[in-house]
């Protein structure tokens, strides 16, 4: 996903001044790591898109020989990418603090700060799901607990801070509504989807029930916030026409809250029997199907619309941009959502749907990863 999704509309600009106010030009020119100046929070999308390959592959109802090993390898890659991006972002804040602050004040970039939370949560879920094959159960559980805690706290902070900045500092108009507005709002939904994995590892009683219901509260928080934004996005398309070609892949971000909420409903239902009383455990199992079927149906409708617009943009010469990473994580959440419905309904159709979506996910990840590596090697993505 790219950091230039909609034109800047406040005093913040796309490219911050080369030096902080009052800084000497020569001193600014000697600033180390110049390539990191444009390294924005959108780069966490690479981590999210890689980690979801591992968790989605492990969730598929029909496993092929060697599939589990491949998922472990992709999870290990996501850990390495997370470490690199965290180090680069730390260097960005250390050596280019003026640009980092400008990113917060840029309405086109600020929503991408929600990607940090989702990157931590996605890698944490992959660690407990497939990484335990390498680390062992105890180490994987500890790592996931840390990543879940950090990701959830950061996600809640971002879900409040970014909308606050949009209200008081950014000059935002409805005609400029962008799918990236969903990024800080969907972070709590990711916590709701991966948190239930930790429930069985807690002591029975209050601890399990508190985490389960806390995840359900995060589910509602993100869902209601998403429902406020989706009409703005659809209205913007109907009134304003298609997005610019380079931004068209961001339409797939709408699949994120849809697929992730379907996944969360299924995961909450799976964890409920050992954490909450029988009437409510059964209700959550029913809710996973009653909620998940129509929402995944709408996700498929949106997937068709976004896919048609993507084909249109490709025919008009759409080139590679970091927005291509928007084709990965959101589609991956639909894979895990469909796999959850296959598990709860027993319908083979959902299993085949999960596999079809996973093949699309794998193709999108491969295209985005190859072009990203080429862009980095050529110096196009991070000018030196």
pLDDT at residue 384 in the model: 66
Please name which of 302, 4, 230, 253 lies closest in space to residue 115, comparing C-alpha atoms. 253
Task: Report residue 49 as tokens.
Answer: 């898109």
Give pLDDT, residue 12.
Answer: 37
Model pLDDT, residue 383? 74
Distance of CA 123 to the CA centre of its chain: 11
Determine the topology of domain 37-373 in CATH: Glycosyltransferase (1.50.10)
- pLDDT over 70 percentage in the chain: 92
- What percent of the chain shows pLDDT beyond 90? 84
What pLDDT is attached to residue 30? 52
Q: Is the pLDDT of residue 138 over 90?
A: yes
| Predicted confidence (pLDDT) at residue 6 exceeds the cutoff of 60 | no
Which pLDDT belongs to residue 18? 40
Q: Where are the domains of the chain?
A: 37-373
pLDDT band at 190, cuts 50/70/90? Answer: very high
Mean pLDDT value across residues 63-77: 96
346 Ramachandran zone, left/alpha/beta (phi>0; psi -120 to 50): left
Band (278; pLDDT cuts 50, 70, 90): confident
Confidence (pLDDT) at 382 = 84
CA distance 190 to 209: 19
pLDDT (average), residues 82-102: 94
Nearest to 223 by CA among 269, 191, 271, 270: 191
Using CA atoms, how far apart are residues 355 and 339, in angstroms rounded to an integer? 9
Q: What is the pLDDT of residues 206-264, one digit of tens each?
A: 999 999 999 999 999 999 999 999 999 999 999 999 999 999 999 999 999 999 999 99
Q: What is the mean pLDDT of the chain?
A: 91
Of 11-25, 133-147, 267-281, the one with minimum mean pLDDT is 11-25
Is the confidence at residue 94, as pLDDT, over 80? yes
Mean local confidence (pLDDT), 84-91: 96
Least confident window among 12-26, 253-267, 308-322, 344-358: 12-26
């Amino acid at each position: 996903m790219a950091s230039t999704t909609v034109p800047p509309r406040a005093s913040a600009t796309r490219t911050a001044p080369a030096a902080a106010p009052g800084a000497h030009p020569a001193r600014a020119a000697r600033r180390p790591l110049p390539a990191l100046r444009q390294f924005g929070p959108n780069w966490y999308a690479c981590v999210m898109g890689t980690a979801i390959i591992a968790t989605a592959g492990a969730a598929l109802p029909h496993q092929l020989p060697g599939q589990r090993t491949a998922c472990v390898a992709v999870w290990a890659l996501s850990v390495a990418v997370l470490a690199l991006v965290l180090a680069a972002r730390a260097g960005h804040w250390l050596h280019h603090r003026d640009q980092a602050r400008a990113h917060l004040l840029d309405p086109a970039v600020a929503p991408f700060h929600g990607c940090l939370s989702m990157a931590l949560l996605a890698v944490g879920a992959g660690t407990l799901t497939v990484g335990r094959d390498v680390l062992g159960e105890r180490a994987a559980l500890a790592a996931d607990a840390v990543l879940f805690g950090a990701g959830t706290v950061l996600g809640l902070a971002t879900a409040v801070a970014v909308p606050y900045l949009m209200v008081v500092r950014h000059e935002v108009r409805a005609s400029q509504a962008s799918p990236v507005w969903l990024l800080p709002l969907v972070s709590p939904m990711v916590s709701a989807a991966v948190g239930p994995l930790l429930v069985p590892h807690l002591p029975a009683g209050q601890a399990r029930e508190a985490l389960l219901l806390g995840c359900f509260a995060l589910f509602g928080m993100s869902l209601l916030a998403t429902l406020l934004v989706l009409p703005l996005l659809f209205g913007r398309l109907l009134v304003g026409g298609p997005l610019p070609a380079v931004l068209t892949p961001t339409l797939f971000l709408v699949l994120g809250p849809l697929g992730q909420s379907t996944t969360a409903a299924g995961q909450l239902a799976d964890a409920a029997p050992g954490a909450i009383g029988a009437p409510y455990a059964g209700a959550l199992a029913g809710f996973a199907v009653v909620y998940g079927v129509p929402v995944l149906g709408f996700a498929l409708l949106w997937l068709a619309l976004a896919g048609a617009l993507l084909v249109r943009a490709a025919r008009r010469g759409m080139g590679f941009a970091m927005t291509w990473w928007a084709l990965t994580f959101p589609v991956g959440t639909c894979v895990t959502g469909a796999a959850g419905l296959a598990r709860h309904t027993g319908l083979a159709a959902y299993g085949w749907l999960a596999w079809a979506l996973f093949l699309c996910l794998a193709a999108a990840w491969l295209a985005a990863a190859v072009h990203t590596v080429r862009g980095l090697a050529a110096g196009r993505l991070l000018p030196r």
